[in-house]
Amino acid sequence: MRRLLPALLLSLGTTQAQGSLSLQDLCLQMTTSRVQVVAYLPALESADLAECFRQAKVNYGRRVLLLTVPYFTRSSSSYVPSLALAGVPVFEANVNSPVGIVLIDGVAYAAPNLGRASSAPPAAASAAQTRVYAGWFTSALKFATRLSPVDALSRLTRR
């Protein structure tokens, strides 16, 4: 799954979205993506957003990759272990950013605390900012480890 990120990088800047998206619109973008959905969410505590990722992967067969912080995946309010068990590739890295980012087919959407139970609606980033986010993802994934289904199940059963 890590090798799919270069395909995303090749398409950066070719499409540009405008403004903010509602969660429903973000879900629609994920489930109708053509290339892949790559996301960095420090914490994923929003049941609705977690369901969007699950649907994109399981119901619609989209390529989905989630990068997150290990500390937050151990929280009882985290939906990350459930997504890992559903087949979403989840990578963990100790990276520091309060901004959640979702890259869908070369277009980035970002918002402070995206993934938390309450956050501002994600706004489309400029093409230049999208390239910065994609470069950041590439760097962060070099140091990330994949959350295995066994570890995910262990985290869910310890709650």
Q: 56-68: per-residue pLDDT in tens?
A: 999 999 999 999 9
* In 7-98, beta strands by DSSP E: 37-40, 64-68, 90-92
Check if the beta carbon of residue 124 is closer than 8 Å to that of residue 26.
no
Name 66's Cβ contacts closer than 8 Å, sequence gap at least 6.
39, 40, 41, 44, 53, 80, 83, 88, 89, 90, 91
Q: 76-116: per-residue pLDDT in tens?
A: 999 999 999 999 999 999 988 878 999 999 899 999 889 98
Query: What is the amino acid identity at position 157?
Result: T
Check if the beta carbon of residue 46 is closer than 8 Å to that of residue 72.
no
Q: Which residues pair with 107 in a beta bridge?
A: 104
Q: 120-155: per-residue pLDDT in tens?
A: 789 999 999 999 999 989 999 999 999 999 999 999
pTM, entire model = 0.86
